[in-house]
Amino acid sequence: MTGDAVAAAARVLREACGPRAREAFPMAPLTTFRIGGPAALYLEAESDEDIAAAAASVAASGIPWTVIGKGSNLLVSDLGFPGLVLRLGRGFRWAARDGRRLRAGGSMPLPALAGVALVHGLTGLEFGVAIPASLGGAVRMNAGAHGSSMRDVVEVVEVFSMGAGRRQELAGVEAGFSYRRSALPAGSVVVGATLLLRPDDRAEIRARMDDIRAWRRRTQPLAEPNCGSVFKNPDGDHAARLVEAVGGKALAVGGAAVSKKHANFIVAHPGATSADVATLIRTLQRRVADRFGIELEPEVQFVGPIDDAGAEDRRQGRAAV
Ligand SMILES: Cc1cc2nc3c(=O)[nH]c(=O)nc-3n(C[C@H](O)[C@H](O)[C@H](O)COP(=O)(O)OP(=O)(O)OC[C@H]3O[C@@H](n4cnc5c(N)ncnc54)[C@H](O)[C@@H]3O)c2cc1C
């Protein structure tokens, strides 16, 4: 992608959004991994009009675009992203209750939304209390835990179609939810959703949430930068078991290491690069494939050009692989 195309997109975006359209914007702080390079162009959208302006700038320039949420499932390339990165801002952070329904904006944090459900004595969203997602990212990934996922509670998804340049509503069943994925129409930015929950006793909801938080603290490396589960669980098995069985917990590449606490987590120590993480991911995939004939599929989403070849060369002899 040429700098000219990015500059052209930036001009279109600035006409509508002024200096809020940022070039060479650092993305590492926007992710839970805390690594990766800049977005060539970045906008925190506060309204549908902002997203429409983003769509117009992409259409006018041909640059690639992506949308991020709370960056809790992302590996951003060390080179960054060569186009427009869109993120929903505070204008999309709201929630409203209507009987058994909770309607909320796409940037509403899932744990906060679980808290709103608790306040109103509504059950069904306890599983989200410790998933550090935005509602938009959780819908897109069909985030889930403890036997439930967004599929079980989403009644309506509100998307802004970057292609059509306007908001559309989809029924939950039209979102194409399956294990850690959805099949939303191409170009969809999830700007909101309506969840259908059930009334329940507040004390019981709170107790279930407390249990979930305590379990997370016991089993996950929450104090170190990470992206949650690196791999999807293969049918009938657990990625963590497979990684552990091939000696994964002893592996590190540069500043990236498999967590000693949970083998399906990679933690980024100071100085870690995305190339380190990518090399470690591929090493684990190779080991598991060689030993078990199972191809581990990454759950983490790659943003920008992720290529571990350079890292492997640079670190020859240093990587514990
Ligand atoms: C400590 C920890 C624990 C975790 N535990 C769990 C767990 O138990 N269960 C689980 O499922 N996940 C878990 N995750 C992973 C992560 O929280 C989920 O995948 C979550 O759904 C990502 O949401 P996000 O807002 O951070 O999206 P991001 O990570 O920013 O983006 C993820 C994907 O969603 C897309 N996206 C983001 N926002 C939007 C939007 N508004 N519209 C359209 N697409 C969008 C992005 O393009 C990207 O493809 C965990 C992560 C961490 C760090």
The DSSP-derived string for 105-148 is ETTSBHHHHHHHHHHTTEES-GGGTT---BHHHHHHHT-EETTE
pLDDT digits (tens, 9 = 90+) for 254-295: 999 999 999 999 999 999 999 999 999 999 999 999 999 999
Predicted local distance difference test score (pLDDT) of residue 257: 98
Ligand 1 atom with minimal separation from the 134 CA: 25
Catalytic positions, please? 180, 229, 299
Top-tier CATH class for 3-88: alpha beta
The pTM (predicted TM-score) of the whole model is 0.95
User: 284-292 contacts: CB < 8 A, separation 24 or more?
Assistant: 284/230, 284/231, 284/243, 284/246, 284/248, 284/251, 284/258, 285/231, 287/246, 287/247, 287/248, 288/242, 288/243, 288/246, 291/245, 291/246, 292/242, 292/245
Q: Residue 103 is encoded by which pair of tokens?
A: 């309607």
Report yes or no: 312 and 243 within 8 Å, Cβ to Cβ.
no
Task: Measure the CA–CA gap between 69 and 67, rounded to whole angstroms.
Answer: 7
Q: Nearest-CA neighbor of 10 among 63, 87, 69, 80?
A: 63
Which residue's CA is the closest to the ligand 1 atom numbered 34? 137
The shares of helix, strand and coil residues in the chain, as percent rounded to the nearest 5, are 35, 25, 35
What is the atom index within ligand 1 of the atom nearest the CA of 73?
29
Task: Classify residue 203 by burial, with Cβ atoms within 10 Å: 0-12, 13-18, 19+.
Answer: exposed
What pLDDT was estimated at residue 313?
46
The predicted-structure confidence for 126-174, as pLDDT tens digits, reads as follows: 999 999 999 999 999 999 999 999 999 999 999 999 999 999 999 999 9
φ/ψ of residue 24, rounded to 5: 50, 50
The protein residue whose alpha carbon is closest to atom 35 in ligand 1 is 137
Instruction: Give domain limits for the chain.
Output: 3-88, 93-205, 239-314
Residues lining ligand 1, CB < 6 A?
32, 66-74, 88, 106, 131-134, 136-138, 140-141, 143-145, 180, 188-190, 220, 222, 226-228, 301
Place of tokens 């959208």: 45
**Topology of 239-314 in CATH?**
3.90.78
Architecture of domain 93-205 in CATH? 2-Layer Sandwich (3.30)
Q: Which two tokens stand for residue 272?
A: 């870690």
Angle between helices 3-17 and 48-61 (to 10 degrees): 150
The pair of structure tokens assigned to 242 is 């497979």
Pair of tokens at residue 180: 């850690």
Q: In sequence order, what are the residues at sequence separation of 6 or more whose Cβ sits closer than 8 angstroms to the Cβ of residue 147?
A: 127
Q: In this structure, what are the phi and psi dihedrals at residue 316, rounded to the nearest 5 degrees? A: -50, 130
Tokens of 129: 């209390």
| Distance of CA 139 from the midpoint of ligand 1 (Å) | 8
Question: Residue 187 C-alpha to ligand 1 middle, in angstroms?
Answer: 17
Q: Return d(Cα 74, Cα 319) in angstroms, integer.
A: 23
Which residue ranges in the chain fall short of pLDDT 70? 1, 308-321
